[in-house]
Structure 1
Amino acid sequence: MQEEIQKLFERISDPKESEAYHFADKLGSLADEEAKERLIQLVRGDSWEVAYLACRALSKTPYQEEALDAIFDAIFDKKNKSVQGAFVQILEEFDLSNSFVDIFRVYLFGNFKASTLAKDYLDEVEFDITPRTIRKAEKHWNHYLHNPEDEGSLQLKKAEIEPMLQEMRELFS
């Protein structure tokens, strides 16, 4: 089994491999604890294409929560700013119900594609919301308000975010 897993790692790391998605899916279905650790290291690595395939493989494993931590780290890593959207897109393969704050941060601080995809998740995913979740989201919102990337998007996001936060607050009052 370890030999087969090793061959799959080689296949997803080969830039000439045309069936890399297939091999990533297969690797995910066979992944054990050791393979999970290697996949997470690939997510944090320098090749975004291999990192994306590792994310895809991780989506097929029972280790999704640990994988999400690594994927959000990759999304917010400055070296991945231009390919953030690819990492956000792969999130559709994961259970995001406990990731409201991370998705909210992507919406606020991500590039255009990442922010647009995050907005879709905010609209479509049923999140587990707690008062602590709301406080964390408000903290990021206040940071964004004081450090907007551009003034044009500030008004648009203000019109979307403030009613959302108010509605969430009302759930607990």
Structure 2
Amino acid sequence: MDIHAMVAKISGELSDKAYEVSDSLARIGSEEVLQAMIVLLKNPNPESRYLAARTMAHMTNNAAGLAPLMDAIQDKENSSQQGELLAELEGFDVSDYYVELFKYYLFGGFKVSMIAKDLLDHKDFDITARVIKKATKHWNHYTNNVKHDELFTLKKREVEEILADLQAFVSDES
């Protein structure tokens, strides 16, 4: 299979076979494919950027693509598709990214916040006292910068429960 020709099929103008090509590239899963997808995360076409994230998420050996995908999620150019890109983190080991996902949960729009919360609820993380301290810092920043309405009260209850559970987990580990 000509990987370059396949990558070209998900770069720019997409055909109705783009998802099939993405699946094929993910099955190949080579370092060459991974590097091509990392480059494709910066493609001018938002659909191509999404397919790059999707392809990497379906690859077995995708660890080197996680940091570039996190950069793409944070890129202002991708703000309209932040949720779709964030959802592709499901296919990665995000165990070291609790604080980043917690920030998306707090500060993201509705879709981004819900996707981040789902990842926080269902993925495994390396939780340490430092992670809890950073998460608490972001929570304090959030509480000082948002309107204290009914929605805030609901989120406050949920976050305080999350932080208490994390603290209990770390205390049990010691």
Q: Shorter-normalised TM-score: what interval? A: 0.7 to 0.9
The AA in structure 2 aligned to 1:46 is P
TM-score w.r.t. the length of structure 2 is: 0.84
Task: Give the match for residue 46 of structure 2.
Answer: 48
Q: Are 1:109 and 2:102 matched, yes or no?
A: no
Query: How far apart, CA to CA, are the structure 1 residues paired with 2:145 and 2:153?
Result: 13
Task: Give the match for residue 68 of structure 1.
Answer: 66
The AA in structure 1 aligned to 2:88 is I
C-alpha change, 1:45 and 1:158, in structure 2 (3 Å) is farther
Offset at 1:18? 0.5
Unpaired runs of 5+ in structure 1?
Answer: none
TM-score w.r.t. the length of structure 1 is: 0.84
Q: Are 1:126 and 2:129 matched, yes or no?
A: no
Query: How far apart, CA to CA, are the structure 2 residues paired with 1:9 and 1:31?
Result: 12
Query: How far apart, CA to CA, are the structure 1 residues paired with 2:136 and 2:19?
Result: 38
Percentage identity across paired residues of the two chains? 40
| Two-structure CA RMSD over aligned residues (Å) | 2.1
Give the ranges of 4+ consecutive aligned residues of structure 1 lying more than 6 Å apart after TM superposition.
Answer: none
Alignment coverage as a number of residue pairs: 170
C-alpha change, 1:45 and 1:101, in structure 2 (3 Å) is farther
Unpaired runs of 5+ in structure 2?
Answer: none
Say whether the 8 Å CA contact 2:12–2:44 is kept in structure 1: no
Offset at 1:164? 0.9
The AA in structure 1 aligned to 2:38 is I
Task: Give the match for residue 171 of structure 1.
Answer: 169
The AA in structure 2 aligned to 1:66 is A
